[in-house]
Amino acid sequence: MDDIQHQQMGYDRAATMFAPDGHILQVEYAEKTIRLGSASIGIVCKDAVVIVFDRRKRDNLVIEESANKINEVDEHIICVSAGISSDARVLIDKARMLAQQHRVTYDSAPSTESVVRDIADIKQQFTQYGGARPFGVSMMFAGFNKKPVLYTTDITGNYLKYKANAIGEDDEKARKLLRGKHKEGLSVKEGLALALEVFKEIQGNEFSVERFDAGILRKGSIEKISGKDLI
């Protein structure tokens, strides 16, 4: 009811306009867009980070490699997104450029957090300026500098570091299951199994390992696998 009243009052017409209850409605609408996106689960393991994402139903006319959402940002950073794919593409390209600029300037690999922070700053700007809408995408970054790490950025430009996290469709259900099932020091095989177990519990009869792809980030290597190779 409040949303309807807010719309009638025009509080959802710009990302720069606060509703009387303190919400920015355009940001909240963008958050709903993310939950329509395909789901991904990221898990920090003992010596790697694994990200498993749901490709949803296969279209036999689509070349599978083009649907892979595991994006390499740098040789030690990968990213997956949920929401509007074109928004994610723009931000991923920006993240790659920031990583390369750091290497050219400092002759060293950028920290994962520095790249994530810069992308989060860009997302925050688009909740503040007129004439533009917020980026309708949540992004999960896995990195390996001295140890494996996992970060997630949201619509508002906030970012947090996680042991395990989920974005996209049914993200709250996935996080609830991860809180109960996640353990420290998992192997890569155990991390993949946990992610698939969570997806199976959520999807029920619709679950099929064939619809999933994964990225595994180890020190010095990035591996992409899919389908039955996950088990």
Beta strands in the chain (DSSP E): 40-44, 48-54, 71-74, 77-83, 137-144, 148-153, 159-161, 164-167, 212-218, 221-226
- pLDDT tens-place string over residues 88-130: 999 999 999 999 999 999 999 999 999 999 999 999 999 887 7
Q: How far is the C-alpha of 200 from the C-alpha of 208, rounded, in Å?
A: 8
CB-CB contact of 98 with 115 (8 Å): yes
Structurally, what CATH architecture does the domain formed by 2-230 represent? Answer: 4-Layer Sandwich (3.60)
Q: How far is the C-alpha of 35 from the C-alpha of 167, rounded, in Å?
A: 8
What does the pLDDT read at residue 84? 93
Number of Cβ atoms within 10 Å of the Cβ of 17: 15
What does the pLDDT read at residue 72? 96
- pLDDT tens-place string over residues 48-72: 999 999 987 667 787 776 767 899 9
pTM for this prediction: 0.91
CB-CB contact of 138 with 153 (8 Å): yes
- pLDDT tens-place string over residues 168-219: 999 999 999 999 999 999 999 999 999 999 999 999 999 999 889 999 999 9
Q: Give me the long-range contacts of 121-125 (CB less than 8 A, separation at least 24).
A: 121/157, 122/91, 122/94, 122/157, 123/91, 123/153, 123/154, 123/155, 123/156, 123/157, 124/156, 124/157, 125/157
Classify burial at 113, counting beta carbons within 10 Å of its beta carbon; exposed 0-12, middle 13-18, buried 19 or more.
middle
The tokens of 63 are what? 């070349």
The tokens of 103 are what? 């290497």
What does the pLDDT read at residue 6? 59
Please say whether the dihedral angle defined by the alpha carbons of residues 60, 65, 66 and 70, taken in this order, is positive or negative: positive
